[in-house]
């Protein structure tokens, strides 16, 4: 069985600590804690990729709205009989610091997730949604996702990034049902 874990974000230093990049933040934490090799750019899927045993982790280097192209290419090159795909992404409908695991749900307007569903479908798609809602601000989603976290929010984000990395371990060890009952 192969597991592909994709953290969504935007490439480039100017986006590194923005709300849209929590998927990248989780993968960086997960890779470090689990001794994954350094990420390397793979040109065909246009992603930073690291692989250890039967787990491949990837950070697409397309911008968020084109994330599906990377997933389609990664699946084409790494698909086995039993391939599980997990997407980790920001979610403006959840408060900062919350995480929710879902399976085969719609995009709820998230352009990166929409791109993935349009490119590979939704069957079996597991998503770890990480809350980024800026409850102080009543501005459009496009503005919120590119904002940095306040110092108070950063504490919550660091905690949820750690929790999500632990949930990934749980998923790989115990499966989806146990992980959802423990972390949802």
pLDDT tens for residues 22-57? Answer: 999 999 999 999 999 999 999 999 999 999 999 999
Query: pLDDT at residue 3 above 60?
Result: yes
Print the domain residue range for 115: 2-183
| pLDDT tier at 85, thresholds 50, 70, 90 | very high
Residue 179: which CATH number? 3.40.50.1470
Query: What is residue 158's predicted lDDT score, i.e. its pLDDT?
Result: 96
pLDDT at 123 over 70: yes
Residues 147-167: pLDDT tens digits? 788 889 899 999 999 999 999
Which pLDDT belongs to residue 51?
A: 96
Domain count, the chain: 1
Separation between Cα atoms, residue 110 and residue 176, nearest integer Å: 23
Residues belonging to the active site: 20
Segment (H or E) for 98: none
What's the confidence (pLDDT) of residue 138?
52
The 3 state secondary structure assigned to 15-53 is HCCEHHHHHHHHHHHHHHHCCCCCCEEECCCCEEEEEEC
Is the pLDDT confidence value at 1 over 70? yes
């Amino acid at each position: 069985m192969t597991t592909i874990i994709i953290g969504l974000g935007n490439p480039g230093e100017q986006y590194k600590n923005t709300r849209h990049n929590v998927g990248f933040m989780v993968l960086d934490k997960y890779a470090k804690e689990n001794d994954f090799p350094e990420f390397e750019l793979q040109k065909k899927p246009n992603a930073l990729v690291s692989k250890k045993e039967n787990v491949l982790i990837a950070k697409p280097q397309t911008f968020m709205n084109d994330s599906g192209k990377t997933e389609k290419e990664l699946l084409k090159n790494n698909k086995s009989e039993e391939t599980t795909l997990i997407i980790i992404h920001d979610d403006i409908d959840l408060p900062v610091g919350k995480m929710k695991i879902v399976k085969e749900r719609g995009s709820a307007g998230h352009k990166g997730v929409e791109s993935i569903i349009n490119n590979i479908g939704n069957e079996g798609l597991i998503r770890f949604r990480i809350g980024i809602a800026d409850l102080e601000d009543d501005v459009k989603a496009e503005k919120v996702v590119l904002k940095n976290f306040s110092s108070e929010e950063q504490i919550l984000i660091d905690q949820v990034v750690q929790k999500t990395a632990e949930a990934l371990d749980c998923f790989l060890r115990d499966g989806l049902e146990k992980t959802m009952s423990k972390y949802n």
